[in-house]
Amino acid sequence: MKCFVTGGAGFIGSHLVDRLIQEGHSVTVYDNLSLGRESFIQHHYSNKDFKFVMGDLLDFELLKLSLLNFDIVFHLAANSDIVKSASHTKIDLEQGTIATYNLLEAMRSNGIKKIAFTSSNVVYGEAKKLPIPEDYGPLFPISMYGASKLACEALISAYCHNFGMTAWIYRFANVTGPRITHGVVLDFYRKLEKNPLKLEILGDGKQAKPYIVVHDIVDGMLFGIKNSNEWINYFNLGTEGSTCVLLIAKEIIKVLGLSEVKLGFTGGDRGWPGDVARVSLDMSKLSGLGWRPKYTTSNEACMVGLRLIIEDLKSRDIQDKQAELKLNH
């Protein structure tokens, strides 16, 4: 396939690009590098089947010009800083909803019919039924990020119906693994780097969510595309159960070999406004097609991902310091 990947220099996007290239597809990455890093994709620069376009989805003319003669669009670009968007309310409207509208309109103009979209479990809001099935409703997200993801799903559905497109929508669990650019493990790692004697935990530490390793996310996405062909295909994509924040905090302290770390809590039953405190997902639709993640439970995936993240962060920190030294000399 000829694949167009928005946000392809980001955490999940760069792993998807690796897999697509590995499978022999040609890939164009479209990314403004606001959250992604060029270092995540530069190992593909010598590949004739790879191209990088530094561009913003809000730049419609550049997007439309760049989006020519593709078989499928993988739409991963979005604001992933959910905490920041609570106080900067335009971020998700512009970088999520309007960006998705521009992408769909460019696809329509250029005759591209297939899109895979990375949504999120936050579209469900504070669901009364756990694990949450894909047909749960009504959907009332409580974060700006969740509202934008739900709006994007609605736009995709309308475009598919009106213009003969096909979509695969994936409502992700929390994704973990190397190249991560945000999330609780990165937050804890940086805090402990600054002060190895104290760790502040948002909320009461009892928040519990499902985790999945990024390689399983990519595998699940591609499996869904290969094995479902409705006009709208939508799946929860995660693992069984959920993992609490306090367990993650204790594990990262253990992995880093620290002792005498004092834990502090900001209080309340959620980490920030818009945070859904407890989530678990029903994955029966995707599993019914025959897919299973390599790491099947949330706790297993979270612990594996945590170790991969720390190994990756240590390596990246060394590379950044070497680059800084080289620049200074």
Residues forming the active site? 145
Distances (CA, A) of 168 to 18, 36, 133, 221: 20, 23, 16, 8
* Alpha helix stretches (DSSP H) within 29-183: 60-66, 82-85, 90-92, 99-110, 144-163
Strands of 196-283, DSSP E: 198-201, 208-209, 211-213, 232-237, 243-244, 262-265
- Sign of CA pseudo-dihedral 99, 103, 106, 108: negative
Residue with tokens 């970088």: 95
Q: Return the CA Rg of the chain.
A: 20
Q: Report the alpha-carbon distance of residue 66 to residue 6 in Å, rounded.
A: 11
Asked whether 319 and 269 are in contact (CB, 8 A), the reply is no
Q: Report the alpha-carbon distance of residue 16 to residue 10 in Å, rounded.
A: 10
Distances (CA, A) of 320 to 39, 140, 327: 11, 41, 10
Report the 10 Å Cβ neighbour count for 314.
12
Asked whether 168 and 116 are in contact (CB, 8 A), the reply is yes
Please, is 296 exposed, middle or buried when counting C-beta atoms within 10 Å of its C-beta (0-12, 13-18, 19+)? Answer: middle
Report the 10 Å Cβ neighbour count for 315.
11
Q: Report the alpha-carbon distance of residue 54 to residue 46 in Å, rounded.
A: 17
